[in-house]
Amino acid sequence: MTEQYVSDFHEVDETQVAVVGGKGAHLGALSRIDGIRVPAGFCVTTDAFRRIVSEAPAIDERLDRLSRLEPDDREAIRTLSAEIRRTIEGIALPDDVAAEISRALARLGERAACAVRSSATAEDLPTASFAGQQDTYLNVVGPAAVLQHVSRCWASLFTERAVTYRQRNGMDHRRVQMAVVVQKMVFPQVAGVLFTADPVTSNRKVASVEASFGLGEALVSGLVNADAYTVRDGAIVDRTIATKRLAIHALPGGGTTEQAIDPERQEQPALTDAQVLRLVQLGRRIEAHFGRPQDIEWCLVDDDFQIVQSRPITTLFPIPQAGDGENHVYLSVGHQQMMTDAMKPLGFSMWQLTAMAPMHEAGGRLFVDATRALAAPSSRAGLLEMAGKADPLTRDALETLIDRGDFIPSLPDQGPAGPRAGGAPAPIETDPAIVTELIDRSQTALAALRRDIAAKSGPALFDFLLAAFEEHKRLLGDPQSMQAIMAGMEASWWLNEQLLAWLGEKNASDTLTLSAPHNVTSEMGLALLDVADVIRPHPEVVAFLEKVEDDGFLDELPRLPGGREARDAIRDYLDTYGMRCVGEIDITRPRWSERPTALVSLILDNVRNFEPGARTRRFEHGRREAQRKEQEVLERLRALPDGERKAGETKRMIDRVRTFIGYREYPKYAIVSRYFVYKQALLKEAERLVRAGVLREQEDIFYLTFAELHDVVRTEHADDQLIRRRRDEFRSYQALVPPRVLTSEGEGLSGAYRRDDVPDGALVGLPVSGGIVEGRARVILDVAEADLEPGDILVTAFTDPSWSPLFVAVDGLVTEVGGLMTHGAVIAREYGLPAVVGVHDATRLIRDGQRIRLHGTDGYVEILPD
């Protein structure tokens, strides 16, 4: 195939990123849109870049070395990337490449001033902008200067910032190629940036315009303050006119210079209101063409707008697709499930198929549409009360939206309001046999699933699974199970409310629920102490585990003294809890049974930090503390007016909470147990597809929804490009932070605490487990990297049940996400661990190793002086 080194804008569009890079492809597409003016220009293609790189074999070896570096090894990256840049800039352009560029320049005018701009194949993409990572040169005059700056743009693919950005985003340096845009300079009176969605709130109906005098480089480089306009529905709804003291202008002989703006012009608007609205209309036309919100750079020349760049805004959180044009309010499922990470397509589609309520996907996260519940007064009150108990920030975000009065439709009540959350306990007898029977029923159903799925494969497996999902939902919605869960939660709420009113004691139920029976999640953490007891007497086993990196280590243990016992203890633990893992609501996440190395650091911490028999002592200590607290509370109540009645009611509630609160954790365990059975069957099917050449690797199925995977199995054909695209999308979704509340306009609301009862500088959250503790903050984002010492306070983004083994080793808990009845809060109370959850940006504001004071009763964290 003949190589083409130059393509004019009119020859390319957004489908040719591989040839002319992201910027070039977008400029070509822009030049085809009616009514959009783009300065004339051409692209030096990636064919030319590859030709240049092939002239220097030394680059290949350096790329190998570069790929082996860690993103934080800045000195090595700086040295290697500088060597590659010098090599590229030192390569003379082949005569035929230089001739093609010169001919294209002649069409612009040989002495025309040009902008020479990098256009990488991994920039201005829907999933990654890579903005500012490569170089741009303005007002380059003459063929020799243009050719020199083309080489500089090629070399800028390997600036230190660009290399680090790619390494942090997991991109292979060899997969990224560099084209160069050469464009006729325009000399604007005004230039700036237009976002067709609000970059702060993400609202897609709000456009944001920034404008300043001279070239736009002053604005995008942060040199000057700009005028700022906010536009919604064809009207300017907010404006800020800045004092503009400097502008960048082109020099006659090439290059640019900073110039002071005359004092009388410094506070004049750079644009008229009419120009702002006209610019936004152009932006909406560009947005419609590309099908997503755009970040647009523009110039104003003699009252004529010219567009010099447009790229997707990659930081916006996607919106669930309703398709009806109505307003919708979505609540984050991840914030309720304590797992706000992005999920792969198989993961979120399986959760949708097995959940009790309809769910919508966006950005790899799941959301529930709460619009109808918010529209009617009675259901709104119930939802807000439940949201407030679960997560005050979600309630505040919803109230902020409701108070605007113009977004949520108003519907009449359809019937009487439901029972108030925290009101009368659910109609269920306080009988421990109920919980035992529910657990037995679940175990029987799980055993039947394992038995019946064993012989299923191909399309028959998927028919079986669809039926199993219905059984899954039936078990999940078992009325008696729901009654047991609500009985425990409502008894806990009753105790906190009444004992605060009668005795002035906050969060009294925290102590009363210590070591409650039948809590499978707290038992899971304590059971790992027993594993440590088996391993502790065998120093060779401990030394071996300290060096473990491979998940096959269990097979090697029997070679060591005590190794067989250690292996059997770990395997027994995995038989009971091996279906769990971090982010376990996503079926695609590796389970502990699949990756047992995730438990090694936890086991070693337990070996180091605890004495033999810690499990029994800890559980008994909690049980005795709960008994002592019960006696104390009842004695104090009897001393009050009408004390016998109050003590009697309280005793009934204590019995109820201790009977049922532990069961709160069991349904999640049952769900995850069934999920592991589903996953093993699907991976077995994936292995068959790999052997048949339908898939490249087993994990390809994670990037297909359940329905898509069903089609692949039925047709024996997979869309490899779809799988690749989904991998890229997932990588981009991982960088996004999901809001607690999301509207159909794209606005994300995260809520705020409105409290004045905390010390200045304290980090506010939700108190979920009482007590005050001081200690060293351990900021841990990955359970497998835990390295804890007695007295540490765990600080993390969120905790699901898989984190509970860490809870036995710390003195307190701080999370960014969570509510009163989420798993982390329940287990913290079980272990008597002071805890504050829902602390915004805790993992960023608290440094690993800092000393902090955690107020679990009042819900805030103080950072102490070093």
6 — pLDDT class (breaks 50, 70, 90): very high
Say which range, 287-296, 368-377, 410-419, 601-610, has the weakest mean pLDDT.
410-419
- Residue 852 CB contacts under 8 Å (≥ 6 apart), including other chains: 774, 775, 777, 793, 795, 814, 846, 861, 862, 863, 864
At residue 478, does pLDDT exceed 80?
A: yes
Q: Where are the alpha helices (DSSP H) in 118-254?
A: 143-155, 160-168, 217-220
Most confident of 4-18, 213-227, 663-677, 800-814: 663-677
- DSSP per residue, 369-382: E-HHHHHSHHHHHH
* Nearest-5° Cα angle at 573, 569 to 574: 115
The span from the CA of 707 to the CA of 687, in Å, is 18
Whole-number pLDDT of residue 271: 95
To which residue do tokens 């994670």 refer? 702
418 — pLDDT class (breaks 50, 70, 90): very low
What confidence tens digit (pLDDT) does each residue in 583-598 have? Answer: 999 999 999 999 999 9
Whole-number pLDDT of residue 415: 53
Based on C-alpha coordinates, what's the Rg of the chain? Answer: 31
At residue 124, does pLDDT exceed 90?
A: no
Burial of residue 139, with CB atoms counted within 10 A of its CB: 0-12 exposed, 13-18 middle, 19 or more buried:
buried
The span from the CA of 643 to the CA of 227, in Å, is 68
133 — pLDDT class (breaks 50, 70, 90): low
Just give the CATH number of 1-185.
3.30.1490.20
Residue boundaries of the structural domains of the chain: 1-185, 186-316, 327-407+698-751, 431-692, 763-863
Q: What kind and span of H or E run contains 509?
A: helix 509-512
Q: What percent of the chain has pLDDT over 90?
A: 70
Whole-number pLDDT of residue 129: 45
- DSSP per residue, 663-700: GGGHHHHHHHHHHHHHHHHHHHHHHHHHHTTS-SSGGG
At residue 451, does pLDDT exceed 50?
A: yes
- Residue 105 CB contacts under 8 Å (≥ 6 apart), including other chains: 112, 114, 143, 146, 182
At residue 614, does pLDDT exceed 60?
A: yes
The span from the CA of 500 to the CA of 508, in Å, is 8
- Per CATH, the homologous superfamily of domain 763-863 is Phosphohistidine domain (3.50.30.10)
Q: Is the dihedral of CA 284, 367, 680, 557 positive or negative?
A: positive
- For the segment 524-534, the average pLDDT, to the nearest whole number, is 96
Burial of residue 706, with CB atoms counted within 10 A of its CB: 0-12 exposed, 13-18 middle, 19 or more buried:
buried
Whole-number pLDDT of residue 669: 96
Q: What kind and span of H or E run contains 139?
A: strand 136-141
Helix (H, G, I), strand (E, B) or coil at 78: helix
Q: What percent of the chain has pLDDT over 70?
A: 96
829 — pLDDT class (breaks 50, 70, 90): confident
Helices 520-535 and 823-831, packing angle to 10 deg: 60
Whole-number pLDDT of residue 221: 63
Helix (H, G, I), strand (E, B) or coil at 306: strand
What confidence tens digit (pLDDT) does each residue in 55-69 have? Answer: 877 787 787 787 777
Amino acid residing at 675? Y
Q: What kind and span of H or E run contains 299?
A: strand 294-301
At residue 287, does pLDDT exceed 60?
A: yes
Whole-number pLDDT of residue 168: 74
- For the segment 772-789, the average pLDDT, to the nearest whole number, is 90
- Per CATH, the homologous superfamily of domain 186-316 is ATP-grasp fold, B domain (3.30.470.20)
- For the segment 121-148, the average pLDDT, to the nearest whole number, is 72
- For the segment 447-452, the average pLDDT, to the nearest whole number, is 97
Annotated catalytic, 823?
Answer: yes
Helix (H, G, I), strand (E, B) or coil at 127: coil
Whole-number pLDDT of residue 340: 92
Say which range, 114-128, 591-605, 714-728, has the weakest mean pLDDT.
114-128
Whole-number pLDDT of residue 421: 41
Question: For 193, which DSSP code?
Answer: E
Q: Are β-strands 812-815 and 835-837 bridged in parallel, bridged antiparallel, or unpaired?
A: parallel
Whole-number pLDDT of residue 414: 61
Whole-number pLDDT of residue 323: 83
386 — pLDDT class (breaks 50, 70, 90): confident
Q: Are 396 and 754 in contact (CB under 8 A)?
A: yes
At residue 850, does pLDDT exceed 90?
A: yes
- Residue 405 CB contacts under 8 Å (≥ 6 apart), including other chains: none
- For the segment 705-717, the average pLDDT, to the nearest whole number, is 97
- 297, β-bridge pairs: 193, 309
- For the segment 404-409, the average pLDDT, to the nearest whole number, is 88
88 — pLDDT class (breaks 50, 70, 90): confident
- Enter the tokens of residue 453: 């799925």
Q: pTM for the full model? A: 0.86
Whole-number pLDDT of residue 200: 85
pLDDT, greater one: 159 or 437: 437
What confidence tens digit (pLDDT) does each residue in 499-517 have? Answer: 999 999 988 999 999 999 9
Average pLDDT, the chain: 90
- Residue 617 CB contacts under 8 Å (≥ 6 apart), including other chains: none
The span from the CA of 521 to the CA of 802, in Å, is 8
Residues in the chain: 866
Q: Is the dihedral of CA 298, 300, 306, 308 positive or negative?
A: negative
Active-site choice (360, 518, 823, 855)? 823
Q: Are 133 and 39 in contact (CB under 8 A)?
A: no
- Enter the tokens of residue 836: 């504050």
Say which range, 222-231, 522-531, 560-569, 627-636, has the weakest mean pLDDT.
222-231
- For the segment 46-50, the average pLDDT, to the nearest whole number, is 91
Whole-number pLDDT of residue 353: 97
At residue 765, does pLDDT exceed 50?
A: yes
Q: Is the dihedral of CA 486, 489, 495, 501 positive or negative?
A: negative
- For the segment 260-266, the average pLDDT, to the nearest whole number, is 84
The span from the CA of 820 to the CA of 826, in Å, is 7
417 — pLDDT class (breaks 50, 70, 90): very low
Say which range, 262-271, 328-337, 423-432, has the weakest mean pLDDT.
423-432
Q: 93 in the Ramachandran plot: left (φ > 0), alpha (ψ -120 to 50) or beta? A: beta
At residue 803, does pLDDT exceed 50?
A: yes
